[in-house]
A and B are shown apart, each in its own frame.
Chain A
């Protein structure tokens, strides 16, 4: 079975800072890492391969520097990585991104299962997984916390809902997005890191992918950022001062009158 994992390079969310004067996000000096949610997708694919055999390919779309996340995926244990990179792809919203990824899956041809993290830590939209499935006319299920079974035609999964969970049988080929409850991602081993160092990451551009130029990048993105602004700050609240027990008493006095 050929399993694909889609990964995204994101600015390290723990280093997110904002310039207090301009209200803009500071990007300089922020490390780029694999989207933390994608580590669970990588781990799950590697475990499936260890149980059932087959191969795992990691795919990312981004600037040439994004090949680092594919090398990291190979270090963890995936077989190969492919980077979709072209200046035409820049500025893509989730519709254009899922179309571009879908073209790569089509080119691979024999993919039975695609695993994605539940969302990217920078955009938080959770839209590319289902969008990719819709593009390919694959089935999809989101928020998977456990893969119970997998055979050549169906996978049985547990999906987290707002009130509990569902057990679903899903026809293959399929896209699943996974939540962090599903596993504990491994750290790369020495052998993996050696392999990653030597690995060649093929770069697929718009010509290799045979994309419709009207459907990729900014041109293929129906949504446009119209403006950005700093979040509104509220009025200062009342400061309760004193020793901890005095602060506690002051607070309860105020809450009692509610």
Chain B
């Protein structure tokens, strides 16, 4: 007999330790460890809220969950915090400045430089901008074939540069391109990657602590990648504040040699589409609707209020999944992250998956008939009431005041 733990189910909550009558459990990094005092009474199995503990008939009938993969030789050889400097048509994506702000903080705590990887064609001048936002080094890969983002060549070049210069941390924006590029590169480098982080810290050994929402945002999980380098993570736009620009701050430009390129994508056409109404990610005012609206036609109320305020229309994942409105309007962990001056949540209950996408708004107004809705816990102003009564009243009041 042997007590076992399904590590992917264990949340390291410690309930088993408290429940054990024989003091036979100690909590380790990856879950409970059972010592010889264990009587196999099964109290912990019953107590475990996630069903992670089970009894095995014989010792050794499953692989021992080893502490981790084989350590990557020479962690110390990896130095520096890097940011992927995503650019489109010679303009840096907004998330790059946000990553530079966070990257600078991490680099300073580690006492290491902050680097940027810039790929493109003839956009060398952006390296000065990156330095003014905090980069100490800019690794430049300029080539006509790299003019526009493409998964094949960008992944090959970045894998080459990262292998050669060996940063210890590598952050990428959680954009459409970053979320495609990062897993390809991480897999090639056989290192860890954490998606959509909302916070970073360092442990006492200098490992990156990467916090992200899990289980639809009902739980926050802090992830470590202790034995592999670089430690890679993506971050959604608008999660961190952009670095302040310091005019004339200078750094070092490093022109990298390109590996031999193996194209497998043919770019036939790139089409820019303007979203319906103001751009959600950049709007100062966002009015968003959720399932509490009751039916798809009530979304018109949200659109009317957005129009009256000159704002953009947002939506929760629930109503996008239900097909009430298109995905470009989705706010949340799997949609867009917004940080407007004013966010009005109408009939949105406020799953963390939604909250992580809007809670950095300056002022949050929540309108919901359920006084226990979690959205009220982040709201600046709370209105408990029926959305279909409150919104028309708001629109009327706006009209009255505009007239006055």
In-complex Cβ contact of B397 among A98, A154, A252 (8 A): A252
Residue contact A219 to B187, C-beta cutoff 8 Å: no
CB-based contact B327/A214 at 8 Å? no
Using Cβ atoms and an 8 Å threshold, which residues of chain B touch A230?
A: 219-220
A239, B382: Cβ atoms closer than 8 Å:
yes
Determine if B265 is an interface residue (Cβ-Cβ < 8 Å): yes
Q: Would you call B183 and A126 a contact (CB within 8 A)?
A: yes
Choose among B62, B181, B182 the residue that contacts A87 (Cβ–Cβ < 8 A). Answer: B62
Chain B interface residue bracket vs A: 35 or more
Cβ contacts B180-196/A at 8 Å (1 or 0 each): 11111111101111111
Given A24-B11, A90-B8, A228–B220 Cβ distance below 8 Å? Answer: yes
Write the nearest CB–CB distance from B237 to chain A, whole angstroms.
9
- Say if the beta carbon of A109 comes within 8 Å of chain B: no
Q: Assess whether B379 is interfacial by the CB under 8 Å rule.
A: yes
- Residue A105, interface by CB 8 Å: no
Q: Are A134 and B184 in contact (CB under 8 A)?
A: yes
Residues from 183 to 221 in B contacting A, C-beta threshold 8 Å: 183-188, 190-196, 203, 209, 213-221
Chain A residue with Cβ nearest B365: A251
Chain B residues contacting A124 (CB-CB under 8 Å) are 195-196, 216, 333-334, 353
For residue B55, CB closer than 8 A to chain A, the reply is no
Contact with B along A161-186 (1 / 0, CB 8 A): 11111111111001000011100000
The size class of the interface chain A forms with chain B is 35 or more
Question: When A135-B187, A165-B271, A236-B377 are in contact, do A25 and B385 touch as well, CB less than 8 Å?
Answer: no
CB distance from A61 to the nearest CB of B (A): 12
Interfacial residues, chain A to chain B (CB-CB below 8 A): 13, 16-19, 22-28, 36, 87-88, 90-95, 98, 119, 121-131, 133-135, 139-143, 154, 156, 160-171, 174, 179-181, 213-215, 217-231, 233-234, 236-241, 243-245, 247-249, 251-252, 254-255, 258
Interface residues of B (CB under 8 A from A): 6-9, 11-13, 15, 29-30, 49-51, 62-63, 65-66, 68-70, 88, 151-152, 155, 175-177, 179-188, 190-196, 203, 209, 213-228, 264-273, 321, 327, 333-334, 341-342, 351-353, 355, 359, 362-366, 376-386, 389-390, 392-394, 396-398, 401
